[in-house]
Amino acid sequence: MMDGNLQNDIEKVVEADRAHVWHHLTQHKPFETGEPRIIVEGRGMRVWDQHGKEFLDAVSGGVWTVNVGYGRERIANAVRDQLIKLNYFAGSAGSIPGAQFSEKLISRMPGMSRVYYTNSGSEANEKAFKMVRQIAHKRYGGKKHKILYRDRDYHGSTIGAMSCGGQDERNVQYGPFAGGFVRVPHCMEYRAQWDLTGEDYGQRAADAIEEVILAEGPDTVGALCLEPVTAGGGVITPPEGYWPRVQEICRKYDILLHIDEVVCGVGRTGTHWFGYQHYGIEPDFVTMAKGVASGYAAIACCVTNERVFEMFKEDMTDPLDYFRDISTFGGCTAGPAAALENVAIIEEEGLLENTTVMGDYMLDQLRALQDKHKVIGDVRGKGLFLGAELVSDRTSREPVPEKQAQAVVAECNAAGVIIGVTNRSVPGFNNTLCYSPALISTRDDIDQIVAATDTALTRVFG
Ligand code: PMP
């Protein structure tokens, strides 16, 4: 698809990249002889690399982001118009798209009321942590400051967010971490910690949170931060009975509930705008990033309810009694301008419904693959957010060697389908093949993704 001139330019680009770009999540030694991959163009569900090779993107831009697919001129035009009118203003001033998007967002989040703009999922979570800490100081003499987080959950790459991170494999080389974050057990039934099933298991996993609260002292615990469906930790769907009990526990001990929707948010799990809305949860904080503008602009939000917001305007006589925080690029207008169009597209094209229908279809197809390939130990997920865990033995649930899981990903790539794999190097948790195609997926797209996985599994495992 590339003409000769562009091909020349691309060679220079590849050289510049090889010489100067430090890629995310990448060991660079192989680039001394091999080539880095440059993604040059995208349309719908598909992207093209520097060689013009076409890929069906089953991970929405690598990390669950491009919910409405590539090449949306409507979003680009809205951003362009807004940038010409006013690109940026920060500090205490608002903006037209900021106000309009907050109204649109809040109308889809009953019970919530305020949007704090920032630029990454990590930072949105940090804002919530800071609000919790400030509330502890305002209301409880600093005592109720601890933030609970769950084993296997991830909340970002900054030191604060990593201090709240349940994936030890990501943390091991970056300590020391911030204090006041306390871990609770994961809720994954496939890797069970209690000899129970179904609702009993879910309630027991939630009771484990209460045990930690009691051990720490309820008067020291300010908030509980959880992903509705754990993403990078292994696509972990909560067991029945888990969420109602979690909500009950938070209410019982006056603990603020922070839901991290950075992956699940904005349609990814189908039917509802947010993952927590499947479970009847009433959060105090909801943080979101990736799908908010589908990657057309950097935008993240820390959304709170009015109860939290009210606590920050109680005492006008105290010069510190407001949220004394800023995010420089929270003043970029491109983010909310893109987000407004992104949400409009999801609505007008019925993408919440499509995600449910296609997600169910894909879950069925992956389960059929599980019947065929013994190496798939478990298939799980919600909407177009799915995982297939690879085990070398279904009874012991021993994970396959990491290299084999990587080989499956590489085989899919070679066949023109980009999939992901979560949880490298964690005994008992690694090697979940990961799928999060755009919400515009069709049956044909899903058939192609599943067929590529089928062939890859046969090649790697026979
Ligand atoms: N929370 C979750 C659940 C995530 O998956 C991520 C990113 N993968 C983050 C937070 C951090 O977002 P960001 O990379 O935008 O800082």
Quick one: 304 and 354 in the same domain? Answer: no
Tell me how far the alpha carbon of residue 39 lies from the centroid of ligand 1, in angstroms.
21
Instruction: With CA atoms as reference, report the closest residue to 249 among 278, 214, 216.
Output: 214
Provide the 8-state DSSP code for 332: B
Secondary structure (3-state) at 297? coil
What pLDDT is stored for residue 426 in this prediction?
A: 64
Question: Higher model confidence: residue 287 or residue 10?
Answer: 287
Predicted confidence band of residue 7 (pLDDT cuts 50, 70, 90): low
221 sits in which H/E element: strand 221-226
Q: Evaluate the omega torsion of the peptide bond into residue 238 and state whether it is cis, within 30 degrees of 0.
A: no
pLDDT digits (tens, 9 = 90+) for 73-99: 999 999 999 999 999 999 999 999 999
Q: Three-state DSSP class for 225?
A: strand
162 CB under 6 A from ligand 1?
no
- Residue carrying structure tokens 């630029």: 119
Query: What's the mean pLDDT when you consider all of the chain?
Result: 95
CA distance 144 to 27: 41
Q: Is the pLDDT of residue 2 over 90?
A: no
Distance CA(57)–CA(26), nearest Å, equals: 19
Tell whether ligand 1 has an atom less than 6 A from the beta carbon of residue 231: yes
Tell me the per-residue pLDDT of 385-427, one tens digit each, with 9 for 90 and over: 999 999 999 999 999 998 999 999 999 999 999 999 986 666 6
> Cα(422)–Cα(160) distance, rounded to whole angstroms?
22
- Residue 380 CA to residue 400 CA, distance in Å, equals 18
Nearest Cα neighbor of 423 from 392, 439, 400, 446 is: 400
Task: Name the more confident of 314 and 457.
Answer: 457
Residues 355, 437, single domain; the answer is yes
Number of domains in the chain: 2
Q: Ligand 1: does its nearest atom lie under 6 Å from the Cβ of 165?
A: no
Q: Is a pLDDT exceeding 60 seen at residue 218? A: yes
DSSP letters, 253-269, are TT-EEEEE-TTTTTTTT
Q: Considering 302, 326, 348, which residue would you say is the last residue of a domain?
A: 348
As a whole number of angstroms, the distance between CA 340 and CA 345 comes to 9
Domain identity same for 173 and 310: yes
- Among the candidates 313, 348, 383, a domain finishes at 348
95 and 61 part of one domain: no
CA of residue 117 relative to chain centroid, distance: 17
- Residue-by-residue DSSP string for 39-76: EEEEEBTEEEETT--EEEETTIIIII--TT-B--HHHH
For the purposes of burial, counting CB atoms within 10 Å of the CB of 336, is it exposed (0-12), middle (13-18) or buried (19 or more)? buried
Whole-angstrom distance, CA of residue 346 vs CA of residue 288: 16
Of the segments 117-126, 320-329, 427-436, which one has the largest average pLDDT value? 117-126
User: How far is the centre of ligand 1, averaged over its atoms, from the C-alpha of 155 (Å)?
Assistant: 5
Q: Which ligand 1 atom is the nearest neighbour of the CA of 230?
A: 3
Q: Are residues 374 and 250 in the same domain?
A: no
For residue 30, being part of any structural domain is answered with: no
Domain end call among 289, 314, 348: 348
Assigned domain for 372 exists:
yes
318 or 58, higher pLDDT: 58
Question: Is the model more confident about 313 or about 368?
Answer: 368
Same domain membership, residue 92 and residue 55: no
pLDDT digits (tens, 9 = 90+) for 30-46: 998 999 999 999 999 99
Tell me, what CATH number does 399's domain have? 3.90.1150.10
Cβ neighbors of 413 (< 8 A, separation 6 or more) are 55, 419
Confidence of residue 319 (pLDDT cuts 50, 70, 90): confident
Q: pLDDT-derived band of residue 317, with 50, 70 and 90 as boundaries? A: confident
For residue 107, is it within any domain?
yes
In this structure, what token pair is assigned to residue 342?
């992104």
Residue 95 belongs to domain with CATH number:
3.40.640.10
Residue minimizing CA distance to atom 13 of ligand 1:
121
Distance (Å, whole) CA 314 – CA 441 = 48
In terms of domains, do 387 and 342 share one? no
pLDDT band with cut points at 50, 70 and 90 for residue 428: low
Residue 27 lies in a domain: no
Examine residue 3 and state whether it is found in any structural domain, yes or no. no
- Tell me the pLDDT band of 318, cut-offs 50, 70 and 90: confident
Residue 183 CA, ligand 1 centroid: distance in Å: 18
pLDDT attached to residue 315: 81
Q: Domain of 423?
A: 37-68+350-461
> Is residue 16 in a domain?
no
Look up residue 106 and give its amino acid. I
Residue 33 alpha carbon to ligand 1 centre in Å: 31
Query: Are residues 237 and 120 both part of a single domain?
Result: yes
Radius of gyration of the chain (CA): 22
Give residue 214's identity as a one-letter amino acid code.
L
